[in-house]
Amino acid sequence: MLQAVALRAEADFLTFYQCRFEGYQDTLYTKYGRQFYRDCDILGTIDFICGDAAAVFQNCLIEVRQPLLGQYITITAQERDVETLLTGLVLQNCTLKATPDLEKAGNITMYLGRPWGNFSRTVILQSYIDLLINPRGWIDFEGMPLVRPFYMEYRNRGPGADTKGRVKWAVATDDPKVASSFTVRNFIGGDRWIPPTIPYYLDLP
């Protein structure tokens, strides 16, 4: 259960529909470019959605697997190191939950993500967040100083979606004007390149 990338997505205008990505650490490496994932299953343990693409995930099932003894789980690790880059990870109407074997284990520490770059950016919109998420939500990347990360949650649901105990450097908003900056239309310009055969929300539903 060591680092092993299932997919290294390294191009512009990439679309994945009804795909399944299974791994443990670094399952899906969104290296760069504008990317869109719809109705996909993504499984892993540590930083298993990572990289510095401008990537939007819609209606995806994001399942956390049983880690090695003593490990804690981080779902995302966004890599933006240059503040002017228009990159980041956006999870919209996704389901973030544990696999059945992890649910049975119970006492596992699980976080939504951690900043891999100085200006790391991750946004979770209108998604279901399972109970096993630590109330802090996010965690520092060990050995890396926090410079100016941007971590935002918008109108999520589920037992892990309460933002009252979140880290101070994360943001929770109920403002659709703020959240709309991270839609398919505005964040990746998907209306200009996503194939018409693939369903998607252009804006906030």
Domains of the chain: 7-192 (2.160.20.10)
In the DSSP assignment, the letter for residue 52 is S
pLDDT above 90 coverage of the chain, percent: 85
Tokens representing 88 are 């980041």
What three-state secondary structure class fits 46?
strand
For the segment 161-167, the average pLDDT, to the nearest whole number, is 97
Counting every residue, how long is the chain? 205
Residue 101 pLDDT level (bands cut at 50, 70, 90): confident
pLDDT at 12: 98
Cβ–Cβ under 8 Å, residues 25 and 2: yes
Please indicate whether residue 26 is annotated as part of the active site.
yes
Predicted local confidence at residue 102, as pLDDT: 86
Which of 12, 41, 47, 101 does the annotation list as catalytic?
Answer: 47
Q: Encoding tokens for residue 157? A: 């649901």
Does the pLDDT of residue 1 top 50, yes or no?
no
| Whole-number average pLDDT of the chain | 95
The yes-or-no answer on residue 47 being catalytic is yes
Structure-model confidence comparison of residues 63 and 145, the more confident one: 63
Nearest to 125 by CA among 179, 75, 89: 179
Confirm whether pTM is higher than 0.85. yes
Q: How many CB atoms lie within 10 A of CB 183?
A: 23
Contact predicate 160/133, CB 8 Å? yes
Report pLDDT digits (tens) over 55-85: 999 999 999 998 888 888 999 999 999 999 9
pLDDT digits (tens, 9 = 90+) for 5-45: 999 999 999 999 999 999 999 999 999 999 999 999 999 99
Quick one: which of 73, 54, 55, 93 has its CA closest to 1? Answer: 73
Catalytic member of 26, 52, 81, 101: 26
* pLDDT(154) > 60: yes
